[in-house]
Amino acid sequence: MHAYEIRIFRKDGSLKIVMATDHFSDKAAIHSARKFANGQWFEVWKGLECLTGVHTLGPSPSPPDNLTAA
């Protein structure tokens, strides 16, 4: 099992919910996130890797001002 973080966003791009979950594969994690998001913009993270960011509503949010490259 692998650890994932699912982030679901509001229409305005603000973060609505973050949840930690475990799945056997990336595909299973994305499928679960898609069902849970129910048409809202979501991202699935595995560690520091964003596996997918899908949004169907609203504009893309701007990155935080304090975000720096690693």
pLDDT digits (tens, 9 = 90+) for 45-60: 999 999 985 544 444 5
DSSP letter, residue 41: -
Q: What pLDDT, on a 0 to 100 scale, did the predictor assign at position 52?
A: 84
Question: Both tokens of residue 37?
Answer: 């998001």
The residues of the chain scoring below 50 in pLDDT are 55-59, 67, 69-70
The total number of residues written for the chain in this structure: 70
pTM of structure: 0.71
Q: What pLDDT, on a 0 to 100 scale, did the predictor assign at position 14?
A: 92
| Residue 45 to residue 5: CA distance in whole angstroms | 5
Give residue limits of the domains in the chain.
2-54
Q: What pLDDT, on a 0 to 100 scale, did the predictor assign at position 54?
A: 52
Q: Which pairing describes strands 15-23 and 42-46: parallel, antiparallel, or unpaired?
A: unpaired
Residue 10 identity: R
